[in-house]
Amino acid sequence: MSDIIKLLPDSVANQIAAGEVIQRPASAVKELLENAIDAGASKIDIILKDAGKTLIQVIDNGCGMSETDARMSFERHATSKINKADDLFAIRTMGFRGEALASIAAIAQVEMKSRRHEVEYGTFIKVEGSTFVSQEICSCDPGTSFAVKNLFFNVPARRNFLKAPPAEMRHILDEFHRVSLIHPEIGFTLIHNEKELFHLYGGSMKQRVVALFGNLYNERLLPVHQKSENLSVEGFIGKAEYARKTRGEQYFFVNKRFIKHHYLHHAVENAFQELLPRDSFPTYFLHIMIDPSEIDINIHPTKTEVNFQDTKLVYAVIHAAVKKSLGQHNLSPQIDFESTSDHGIDFGDISRTGRPVQPPSIGLNPDYNPFSNPGPTKQQWSPQPQAPKIQTENWRIFHENVNFDNIERETILPEKTALKGIQSAHSKFLQIQSTFIMSSVKSGLMLIDQHLAHWRILFEKYLKQLENRKLGSQQELFPQTIQLNASDADLLAELHEDLHMLGFNIESLGLRTFVVNGSPEGFGDRNATEMIEHVLEMYKTNSSDLQIDKKQNLARSLAANLAIRYGQQLSEQEMSSLIDQLFACQIVDVAPDGRKILNVLTTNDLFTLIKQ
């Protein structure tokens, strides 16, 4: 019997490593930026074409490499940062792994030029798919230039799985923000398809935040500073009144590395408790500095998690730091008790000194008879206008025929139904806890979730509107301006046409600023800018969690944010209209996210509940 275990060829092994390290163009950008920073660069230029699919070029003015170092940099497990195993627990640099360049070269055509400052010439190396093509002397500027062309050219299956350029560009922008934020002393330039997106100069962290996210942040940030024996926390948080409806501006760094940490995020959220508006997210840019021996960095290149030896201590320090900042920087009215100003009020006029005390007088009508004249009637609340009833016949048929024990998740047709069900479209409705609508049916009681029902109604309405390209819009009396970060601005530009079909009239005023001139019909007095932020946030969440069509994702996101909320009281007319519209939908019983909209408690169920 022959042996079956064999060593993989280097080309195959490198492609496997590349799959772990380089998942998309943003991964390559991140690795090259970190290498440039570790080289001591004070200026880094990033040039992209087709969101990195065609070209990723990173140019730095760092220390550069010798001929030997330039050649060795493409070998697996080659690094300048680690000499022994213990060094893994004292890492303070970025690109320490020694896998990135070998992985990038395995799945792309790479050209590298590098020159040390003290020599007059540099080295030019060309590698294609792990195959070394050439190395020669060249004339170039001090530092290093990497040009990564045609990513995944030799792994077409991987290339086909890349998303559209706008989506891949958002991932690159995310990595660009993470790296450039924590290195404000370095100048960065980002050019995409010959268009300059960012030109950042070296400065303070606050200047960097403002340069990345807009001038409005200049007055929205509060400094954070907290130092303990084992760690310190520095950075900024956003004022509560400026909290956004998207969670984009939330950054944790540990020893200048971006991390994600849900437990520490809770520390910030908890510190903002009772200060944030509903459905808003706190903004923070926090840098945790701690002895490297106190943390365990996940060695995997694409991960952003770390483990702390004492996570509760880190939680407590962050929570205290944010609380302290919120308390110290004018978030609550302050009274100066030492002030002698009377603010123009003559207190002598209202003093009671020397003035007799007079009891209040009460006017009486001796002829009033409460039994001879009825009092004023209680003012009745005027219900909202009833929405037009749609296909009430469907509702009647459903009442009479639907089998709730075996309801199908598709269009309910009379010939498919099997059960005698609900009394009448004119039956009384009862709202429970401003959340559920209850109606009596022949078999018991039907309960409908009002939010999920309205979500289903609006989802099908907006989806039909997008498919038919039918526009329904109302002009904003006062156009609203919205400023977004680069990633969200790019997403809004991508969704602009579809949002227009839904009734949003949005005009671009620059790279990251938009004005909302119109909103969908029935939008009411809702804040259009907040709604757009909500929709963008939910759209991003759905895109990462679910593989769904763009139009469905957009319709689902907008409908979820405009649907009736839990806790909203409804008149009987509104409940009746809502149910009529629900039973006119193609799918009646399931919300867009799969949750059940309605349920029936049979008479047997009710008897069982009573007897318990």
Distance of alpha carbon 114 from its chain centroid, rounded? 38
Residues 607 and 593 in one domain: yes
Residue 467 within any structural domain of the chain = yes
Residues 197 and 213 in one domain: no
28-32, 315-319, 552-556 — which is least confidently predicted?
A: 552-556
Boundary residue ending a domain (203, 232, 251): 203
Report in angstroms the alpha-carbon separations of 435 from 425, 556, 588: 20, 20, 18
* Percent of the chain surpassing pLDDT 90: 36
Torsion sign across C-alpha atoms 596, 597, 601, 602: negative
pLDDT (tens digit per residue) in 287-307: 999 988 888 765 445 567 788
Cα distance between residue 253 and residue 233, in whole Å = 10
The enclosing domain of 554 has a CATH number of 3.30.1370.100
Residues 314 and 434 in one domain: no
Name the nearest CA neighbour of 142 among 57, 44, 37, 60.
60
Type of residue at 199:
H
Residues 194 and 322 in one domain: no
Structure-token match 């060249």, residue found: 138
| DSSP per-residue letters across 358-414 | -PPP----TT--TTTS--PPPPPPPPPPPPPP--HHHHHHHHHH--GGG--SS---G
Residue 445 pLDDT: 87
Residue 441 within any structural domain of the chain = yes
DSSP 281: B
Residue 20 pLDDT: 59
Half-sphere exposure of 169 (CA within 13 A, CB side): 24
Q: 574: part of which helix (H) or strand (E)?
A: helix 572-582
Helix, strand, coil distribution of the chain in percent, nearest 5: 35, 25, 40
Residues 414 and 444 in one domain: yes
Residues 191 and 253 in one domain: no
pLDDT (tens digit per residue) in 406-426: 433 333 333 333 333 333 344
Q: How many domains does the chain have?
A: 3
Residue 340 within any structural domain of the chain = no
Residue 359 pLDDT: 58
Both tokens of 110, joined, read: 């790479």
The enclosing domain of 111 has a CATH number of 3.30.565.10
Residue 331 within any structural domain of the chain = no
Structural domain of 85: 10-203
Report in angstroms the alpha-carbon separations of 136 from 112, 132, 142, 192: 11, 12, 16, 29
Boundary residue ending a domain (181, 203, 225): 203
Residues 488 and 582 in one domain: yes
More confident residue, 337 or 277: 277
Residues 230 and 322 in one domain: yes
Boundary residue ending a domain (203, 237, 264): 203
> pTM for the full model?
0.68
Name the nearest CA neighbour of 289 among 270, 312, 317.
317
Residues 254 and 312 in one domain: yes
Residues 127 and 245 in one domain: no
The enclosing domain of 268 has a CATH number of 3.30.230.10
Residues 404 and 508 in one domain: yes
Residues 97 and 192 in one domain: yes
